[in-house]
Amino acid sequence: MAALVSCCFSCCEDNNSGHVTLKEMPTVQLDTHHMGTDVVIVKSGRRICGTGGCIANAPLHQNKSYFEFKIQSAGVWGVGVATQKANLNQIPMGRDLHSLVLRQDGTVYHNNEEKNRLPANSLPQEGDIVGVTYDHVELNLYLNGKNMNCPASGIRGTVYPVVYVDDSAILDCQFSDFYHPPPQGYQKILFEQQIF
């Protein structure tokens, strides 16, 4: 018994015990290193206000990603996907090749071209949840859990979730613990090391 106790204590005394320290996985949130100059990020990287855009800190590497935005205060806003080359000071986004976004008026823009439009009776309002799916080809939109059947495509390269605000808009980002379950086959954004 003494040998067993001695072995347990001696294994724990040195740093070469063979135990692996687990690293805490990073949290997907808005990236304060990739945001417009007049943007304010609060609530642990989940709320955006001010003027401009911000991308998340994790690219969409997996095949089918889902994320949500809650409209806390109405104004000028947009949500979707963008590359790191997107101009996060230019509002509204969707004017160039580097962003594909749903705007507050229900239009979906990419490269200054309207790609699709939400049904007229389904414009997001204050308190609504806008869900976004992306599968490396197509972006789809959900309003309060309901599929809006409003696909859009055209963006290329490594993309990130993006959100922009202006005119007193405040949006909260939900990258996990969703208000509505993701559509079948879609899941929260995973960091690259979580995929393998």
- Please confirm whether the linkage preceding 92 is cis (ω < 30° from 0): yes
Residue 10 has pLDDT above 70, yes or no: no
For the segment 131-144, the average pLDDT, to the nearest whole number, is 97
Would residue 155 count as lying in a domain? Answer: yes
Report how far residue 75's alpha carbon sits from residue 4's, in angstroms, rounded to the nearest whole number.
Answer: 67
Would residue 184 count as lying in a domain? Answer: no
Cα dist. 115→11, 47, 79, 128, 155 in Å?
Answer: 62, 27, 14, 22, 11
Q: What pLDDT does residue 192 have?
A: 74
**165: phi then psi, degrees, rounded to nearest 5:** -140, 155
Element at 7 (helix H, strand E): helix 2-13
pLDDT per position as a tens digit, 25-74: 789 999 999 999 999 999 999 999 999 999 999 999 999 999 999 999 99
Would residue 15 count as lying in a domain? Answer: no
Element at 156 (helix H, strand E): none
Contact predicate 124/142, CB 8 Å: no
Q: What pLDDT does residue 182 have?
A: 98
Task: State the Cα angle at 159 between 25 and 52, rounded to 5°.
Answer: 95
Q: What is the CATH number of the domain that holds 157?
A: 2.60.120.920
Based on the structure, what is the number of domains in the chain?
A: 1
* Structural domain range at position 51: 30-174
Would residue 44 count as lying in a domain? Answer: yes
pLDDT per position as a tens digit, 91-124: 999 999 999 999 999 999 999 999 999 998 999 9
Would residue 143 count as lying in a domain? Answer: yes
Would residue 88 count as lying in a domain? Answer: yes
Would residue 195 count as lying in a domain? Answer: no
Would residue 17 count as lying in a domain? Answer: no
Which pTM was predicted? 0.86
Q: What pLDDT does residue 25 have?
A: 72
